[in-house]
Structure 1
């Protein structure tokens, strides 16, 4: 389980990660999370680092079962 796929932001400045991300037209964050979630049996658990991120996805207003993908 990957609790911090970008190592709390420290990984984002790594030159290799930046170079590979740029070559694919994505951000280092997108690349790191994409790499983690493509691994069999691994779940990524990124966190919201700012209050604005938590408001982008408000909690449900009523009880409902978890969605199955």
Structure 2
């Protein structure tokens, strides 16, 4: 179960990558993990997750936003 209140929604992965890369270039970010810088920017804007609709993905900012309700073993 996810506890997400305000995700930043992108229609597809390409849209996300274009926005993230533009942010990284515009701000001259030169780090080992530039995605952390972009995530921190989104968090500063009030977003607590990223949703990529075409893939059905939601990526949360904090591990505490994920709660395991029931575990199952699939074989």
- Which structure dedicates a bigger proportion of its chain to strand? 2
Higher relative contact order (CA 8 A, sep 6+): 2
- Which structure dedicates a bigger proportion of its chain to helix? 1
TM bracket (short chain): 0.3 to 0.5
TM-score, reference length from structure 1: 0.39
